[in-house]
Chain A
């Protein structure tokens, strides 16, 4: 596989991103390494080719946002909004991720090896997220679809006003948000969880050690008796 190297100490980020936005045909199957990200914002956003990008260090805000098809690996930590609105592909953060990781993501897989900040998976729309560590408060707020696996703990208000996303937590949940409740894990859900653990490098972790959470579906439609819960 051909490997291309870009050094952000010497190459402007815009040129690197423009290269990555080039003709998908010529990018497919390529490996790209981005050195010295040094916390720059918007690294490798908007990719839409079958390209494998490795960011050698800490990324700033919105890294790999809107990703399609591509595989993006961040070897350090990621700032706010990593893989926000991802459509497909894989984004892998080897360190920790700041707030709103995977916000509104429609598809694909976001793997965070460390902890994630607040509002992880907010308004999740169909992507899968696996967090190796813990997530901050208000994660999975209004999450509509997709699967969200947390190997550590969850903060306050997990799954507040959740729709049909499935949450799997191995550690403790500080508090559940409005209309989020514990579910019984059926065979199909257990298979989803086992597959995600395998894909994210946690094949040794038993799906039986997780609890599942989802929507109690009492806030789907406005009901005056629920006014206080809004």
Chain B
């Protein structure tokens, strides 16, 4: 079991309070996922030539300011580093491959959670409330988000095994369910040159979609290939810089419920995470059909 939440704020006036709106949604999914939580937060994009890098340190007392200074002096380039506890977002115009290589070489203990122009990723172990407090989720401002609460059933409870997973820039995925052919998918994808960071089944689904899109599929075509190749149960919620997308497996084994309102679109595993949204009484609440792709654009 796991919990999924997604929120896309249509009314620009509410975007500064997206974190506050989301908090009861995430907390509502605590029973479905008490061991880890994560959040992909989408904001207006940074300058066209810049990228944001979400970095995670296993140790709580990492000196982020020092890393920023080191980065700027060593590479002779401007960078900003905004940190919250053992997480930081580094923003720079240096190309991603160089940044990744530099972080790997100088700070191998750090984990690169995401790269993009509008997406930051936070994920860690602990109850949803603990993780939300650690990274101050309630004060997030932005346009849309993808969140997850995890109850691990098939791989270890570590920050790296928590969701969301990412592939490429400004793309993330969370999953409720389990895949029985994750290992064979992984062997297949590794032959295609796709690298894995964990043994988590969701990562296999994420890398599978990454591979399909690399081969030229759009998301819909990639998901249609997914229906054929992913063996198991899943509700998948995905985020890009401009949209949220949702699918359920053909057997509808894992739940999802949607509330569409003039001010927002909210998605969760269960209604109890939607119950406290403003004016929910006037939202159109419905259950998505299995094997159908739902997309909401900003």
Contact = CB atoms under 8 A, between A and B. Distances in A.
A39 interface: yes
B287 A58 contact: no
Contacts of A39: 28, 270-275
Looking at chain A's contact residues, the main secondary structure is loop
Contacts of A57: 275
Contacts, number: 48
Contact of A60 (B270, B285, B289): B270
B294 interface: no
Contact of A136 (B270, B274, B290): B290
A58 B290 contact: no
Interface in A135-157: 136-138
Contacts of A77: 271, 285, 287
B251 interface: yes
B271 A80 contact: no
A58 B271 contact: yes
A96 B274 contact: no
A118 interface: yes
A137 B290 contact: yes
A77 B252 CA distance: 17
Interface in B221-257: 251-252, 255
Contacts of A107: none
Contacts of A61: 270
Given A136-B290, A137-B290, A98 B275 contact: no
A117 interface: yes
A58 B255 CA distance: 15
B261 interface: no
Interface residues of B, number: 16
Nearest to A61: B270
Interface string A59-97: 011000000000000001101100000000000000110
Contacts of A60: 270-272
Most buried by A among B255, B271, B289: B271
Q: Which of A38, A96, A115 has the most CB of B within 10 A?
A: A38
A77 B287 CA distance: 10
B141 interface: no
A118 B287 CA distance: 11
B264 to A, nearest CB: 17
A33 interface: no
A61 B255 CA distance: 11
Contacts of A117: 252, 287
Interface in B91-112: none
B150 to A, nearest CB: 20
Contacts of B275: 38-39, 57-58
Nearest to B281: A57
A138 to B, nearest CB: 8
Contacts of A40: 272
Interface of A: 38-40, 57-58, 60-61, 76-77, 79-80, 95-96, 98-99, 115, 117-118, 136-138
Interface of B: 28, 251-252, 255, 270-276, 285-287, 289-290
Given A38-B271, A60-B272, A96-B286, 5 more contacts: A58-B275, A61-B270, A98-B255, A117-B252, A136-B252
